[in-house]
Amino acid sequence: MRMAYLSSLAVLLTALAMLSATAGSLYAQSPVHGIAMHGKLKYPPDFKHFSYVNPDAPKGGRLTMAELGTFDSLNPMVINGTAVWAVRSFIYETLLSRAFDEPFSLYGLLAESVTVPEDRSWVSFTLRPEARFSDGAPVTADDVIFSLELLRERGWPQHRTHYSKVKKVERIGERGVKFIFADGADRELPLILGFLTVLPKHLIDPEKFERTTLVPPVGSGPYTIDSVEAGVRVIFKRNPDYWGRDLPVNRGRFNPDEIAYEYFRDENARLEAFKKGLYDIRQESDPGRWARDYEFSAVKNGRVLKKKFKTGIPSGMTGLVFNIRKAIFADRNVREALILMLDFEWLNRNLYHGLYERTQSYFHGSELSALGRAADERERALLAPFAGNVQDDVMSGDYRLPETDGSGRDRRSRRKALQLLDKAGYELKGGALVNRASGDRFTFEMLALTRDQERLFINYQRALERIGIKTTIRQVDAAQYQARANSYDYDMIQAGWPVSLSPGNEQNVRWSSKVAGQEGSLNYVGVSNPAVDAMISAMLEAKDREGFVSAVRAFDRLLISGSYVVPLFHLPERWVAHWERLRHPGTTSLNGYLIDTWWIEPEEEPKRARTTD
């Protein structure tokens, strides 16, 4: 009896010792309703809805949206074709759903719970038993495993990059899946797996998955595709049997019975269609149009409303991209010279009514930006192995893009640009900038998708002529543009990289060495820099918000110092015009407005203008 007692006591003491040693991680190793990248979740397990929705929003009506360009595929999960991106939002679902009033937190969608240890070396999900695809088939663990393997092998470069870090997959019972990583170095991976799009295994042939198709896909989301007119129109229709309508993450969302996407080849045609009431809401990004083209009768009589939405996220970077895979842009002196030749002050006053702000940082307008902040000790330690990669004024926080006199002919900028080009081996001869060694003239092509881009390029072209640089501008259609962008067949394009308050693995797809030569990545510049790779890793390894912020600022300093783009500008707010029948919640998210939280007032629906189907 005494031996049995002592044995039991030893077991108890061992268990208590283990409890003490792992007290910080036991809660995380139990199933929970959500997960945050850093810190605590905002919403408790019994939350009813997100703060930025109207949980009592009426259902019904048709919401019509407008896209610029065309499409030839309904599969947005692969690189081939020009896809209808709304399929990802309305047809397919992920294991977890994002809360847009937190930096980066996810809550249960297809999965009712998530389990992750403190070291984040694995993550497991338990599916909801009621989850169904629109054909009535249950969403199973086999679907989850199939989706990971399919996207890892045949999906977009970001899928292949993210999911290749999963070293082992285990099925747990009937509804559980566990993803095991090589280590816990990438602390964002559990959240990345939470974003896994779950596809129906029973309907997909992996060998045909990468083909373009206009066959309506089957998913588990709130809508199905009602009709398709290739390149012109897609109409989504609410699934009356949608399994997840009452989930807390869905309350107040996906309110219209139908959502139509109309495609326009020309921006002017798209604007005129809005004025006629052929679609419901328009986000405007051009200050000239905002100031000039929204004084039509429906605005004056209150049937169309103009709104401005503040956001709580960084502006992100939009710029004229140097393809540094091309020898002509390989020298940073060249890139710095061409940055000097964009006269923002003149452009803003003469083309944009003075309404733009210059984008100085890749995380402009947030605590993540290095702008105006000297590097702290953590940043200096991270950057120490990469001496020379960050400019002194960027490290000290004193860096600013040069300002001009606004004349469009600033002599200081021209003089400094020519000095930099001289360092790079170029000189002016007879008004032409030529390479001293080869005698070749400095010339390149700017590839445009829209007339707005073409207009900007024309003004930049004139500025470059003043230092002897010859450029050509080529505007192509959406399909050709996408194909050339995917294969990096350009000298310069305009591109943008939106960011959140929790940048992470998506930065690998945009800036890392591993994707610089991978077709279809978002590394448009062609950056292949060990220092950049190291800062992305530091961001993913950070265990607290303070360390994370330092890593992002160090990353920002590297991108600024690399002179990889001619930084453009951003709007201080999001500008939206919409027909009065469309309503939105009184509280907005960190992203400003979210269209999936809007609704149409039932009594207004009979008055709406419709396109012909």
The whole-angstrom separation of Cα 73 and Cα 82 is 6
How far apart (Å, rounded) are the C-alpha atoms in residues 46 and 168?
Answer: 32
Fold of 317-570: Dipeptide-binding Protein; domain 3 (3.10.105)
Cα-only R_g, the chain? 26
75 three-state secondary structure:
coil
Task: Give Cβ neighbours of residue 318 (< 8 Å, ≥ 6 apart).
Answer: 359, 494, 495, 496, 497, 567, 568, 569, 570
What's the pLDDT score for residue 158? Answer: 85
Alpha helices in 502-596 (DSSP H): 506-511, 530-541, 545-562
Query: Could you tell me the end-to-end alpha-carbon distance of the chain, in angstroms, rounded to an integer?
Result: 84
Q: What does the alpha-carbon distance between residue 28 and residue 105 come to, in Å, rounded to a whole number?
A: 15
Does the CA dihedral 507-509-510-515 come out positive or negative? positive
| Residues in Cβ contact with 7 at an 8 Å cutoff, skipping those fewer than 6 apart | none
Question: What class does CATH assign to 223-312+573-607?
Answer: alpha beta
Looking up tokens 């809007």, which residue turns up? 598
3-state secondary structure (DSSP) of residue 331: coil
- Supply the DSSP symbol for 527: -
Q: How far is CA 330 from CA 229, 388, 564, in A?
A: 44, 17, 10
Strand bridging mode 223-229 / 233-238: antiparallel
| CATH code for the domain defined by 25-42+57-208 | 3.40.190.10
Alpha helices in 204-306 (DSSP H): 267-275, 287-292, 297-300
Amino acid at 501: L
* 3 state DSSP class of 283: strand
Among 435, 472, 442, 433, smallest CA distance to 454 is for 472
Long-range residue pairs from 417-423, CB within 8 A, at least 24 positions apart, any chain: 417/337, 417/338, 417/340, 417/341, 417/467, 418/337, 418/467, 420/333, 420/334, 420/336, 420/337, 420/340, 421/333, 421/334, 421/337, 421/467, 423/333
**pLDDT value for 9:** 35
Among 567, 568, 536, residue whose Cα is nearest residue 554: 536
List the Cα angle 213/268/63 in 5-degree steps. Answer: 55
CA distance 18 to 20: 5
Q: Say whether 317-570 and 25-42+57-208 share the same fold.
A: no
- Listing from the earlier edge strand, what are the strands of the sheet with 304-309? 281-284, 574-579, 304-309
Contact by Cβ (8 Å): 487, 521: no
Which residues of the chain, if any, have pLDDT below 50?
Answer: 1-28, 605-613
- Classified as helix, coil or strand, 587 is coil
Q: Please report the pLDDT score of residue 484 as a whole number.
A: 95
Place of tokens 């009426």: 58
Which pLDDT value is given to residue 12? 35
Domain ranges of the chain: 25-42+57-208, 223-312+573-607, 317-570
Name beta bridge partners: 114: 32, 125
